[in-house]
Amino acid sequence: MIFVARYGGMACAGTLALALVLVPGVAEAGPAAPGPPESPSRGSVSPFASAAVPAGGPPQEAAGESRSQRSLAALQAAVRKERSRLRAAWKQRARKAVAFAHAQRGRPYVWGGTGEYGFDCSGLVQQAWRHAGVLIPRVSYSQYEHIPTKVSRSKLRSGDLVFFNRMGHVGIYVGQGRFVHAPRTGRPITIEELQGRYARNYSGAVRPGWTPLPPLQ
């Protein structure tokens, strides 16, 4: 079927007439020249609007979460630094205590002695830690009772006090399964292996001068 339109007294048939009939609103002068696509008006909604990031930045919730994460990371870093500082400070004191005890090897056992003529077992460890700047009780029972940080045998560190015979005897652990002590009358201050009868009579250990570490968040 052919549609016919009249224009200026002349009849024309074909595609142009069909376009004019089927596409209302098209100017009779023909199609407009191609150009860049128009920007959407303010009232229009872009099909990509839901995926767009607002011009003002991320949502408030995301920004708040990011700040919280940074604050937590900074706090954790500060806690780790303080824990390292406390460990290093204790190790430095422990080295001084152990060095003092080592230096007394060969000196005589003297009951009640704290250094002038010799040492007994608790006098030796008291003076060793006093040399490191830490005051502890005089006798072995009080040393174990009043030094709060108790240590399992598997966690011993150089500088810890090790006790025997139900806290009746004490020495200073020096690492590698050994300790230095004032054994008894007739035997000078010496280093022993933590084995044999000492292992059988082992009663516990404490850590003088230890500051509890702040917990990690």
| Active site amino acids | 121, 169, 181
Answer whether 111's CB lies under 8 Å from 120's CB: yes
Answer whether 94's CB lies under 8 Å from 159's CB: yes
Beta bridge partners of 162: 171, 205
First-to-last C-alpha distance (Å) of the chain:
84
Answer whether 169's CB lies under 8 Å from 204's CB: no
Answer whether 94's CB lies under 8 Å from 132's CB: yes
The DSSP-derived string for 167-184 is TTEEEEEEETTEEEE--B
Give every CB contact of residue 215 below 8 A, 6+ residues apart in sequence. Answer: 79
d(Cα 99, Cα 132) in Å, to the nearest integer? 10
Written as six digits, the tokens of 19 are 């376009």
